[in-house]
Amino acid sequence: MKWLQRLKSAPTPDANATKPTEPGFVGFVACPDGPSENFTAPQQPPANETTSDPDRWCWPRGTAINTAEIEAFTARLARFTDKGLPLGDAEALADKLVTRDRENDSRRLCLECAHLQGVSRWGCGNWKQAAVCTRPADAGLAHVLVVMPQHCPGFKEHTL
């Protein structure tokens, strides 16, 4: 007898069965719906709950940027691009300033100063106190100077 003939002649269970074919143990395939009496699930708030701390894994407990740093980064990015820096350069510079702030470096950029004048062709509005030059006609600032961290006696924080 060939396999195909055996399959065709093999007895098949009744598809419309109303009674079990053999009495005996009926086991469960899955866990019951209710919790076990020996197990209690830890109480954790949902990950998307609005009351949870979004900065719990951020700086200073981790390396990720926290909310305050993101806001400062975004404000700096807007200021730097408004002052004429290309977007890529502005992003790189704002990212370096996050590290500077974490290290408590007291140096500042001319781009962060309220006295910086102009767009792309910059000048110092506080040139005398900053000791940039000796006369107002020479108060223009080179790109290298504007993006270099430095200690300036005439610096005034630009409100972001």
Helical H runs in the chain? 3-9, 67-82, 87-102, 127-130, 143-146
Mean pLDDT across 57-78: 90
d(Cα 82, Cα 120) in Å, to the nearest integer? 9
Mean pLDDT across 116-145: 90
Do the domain assignments include residue 6? Answer: no
Do the domain assignments include residue 96? Answer: yes
Do the domain assignments include residue 156? Answer: no
95 is in which domain, residue-wise? 67-146
- When divided into structural domains, the chain yields a total of 1
pTM of the model as a whole: 0.64
Question: Quick check: 156 and 115 in contact, CB under 8 A?
Answer: yes
Q: What is the pLDDT of residues 23-44, one digit of tens each?
A: 665 655 555 566 666 666 667 7
Say what the pLDDT of residue 154 is: 92
Mean pLDDT across 7-29: 63
Q: What is the pLDDT of residues 96-112, one digit of tens each?
A: 999 999 999 999 999 99
Do the domain assignments include residue 1? Answer: no
